[in-house]
Amino acid sequence: GGKLLVVPMVGSHWLSMQEVVEKLSERGHEVVVLVPEVSWQMETTQAYKVVTHPVSQTLEELDNAF
């Protein structure tokens, strides 16, 4: 397996991407997902490693922006 870094953006198609990321992990790939500390529906599983990064906006500001 290879190494894969996934950087989903807020509002991206993470719900679809998550299934692909989990399948790649099941097939032996080492997967790291870089997610913002404040986000929507960025659920995680044991299938891959998650690294969070700080962002300057709150969840309320994110809601208002969209």
Domain range for 23? 3-64
**Quick one: pLDDT at residue 17?**
85
Q: Is the pLDDT confidence value at 25 over 80?
A: yes
Q: How many domains does the chain have?
A: 1
User: For the segment 31-63, what is each residue's pLDDT rounded down to a tens digit?
Assistant: 999 888 777 666 667 888 988 888 887 778 767
- pLDDT score recorded for residue 42: 67
State the average pLDDT for the chain: 82
Handedness of CA 16, 17, 22, 27 (dihedral sign): positive
| Calpha distance 56→1 (Å, rounded) | 35
Query: Residue 64's pLDDT band (boundaries 50, 70, 90)?
Result: confident
Tokens matching residue 17 = 């991407």
N-term to C-term CA, the chain: 38
Could you tell me how far CA 50 lies from the centroid of its own chain?
A: 7
**Tell me, what's the pLDDT at 10?**
64
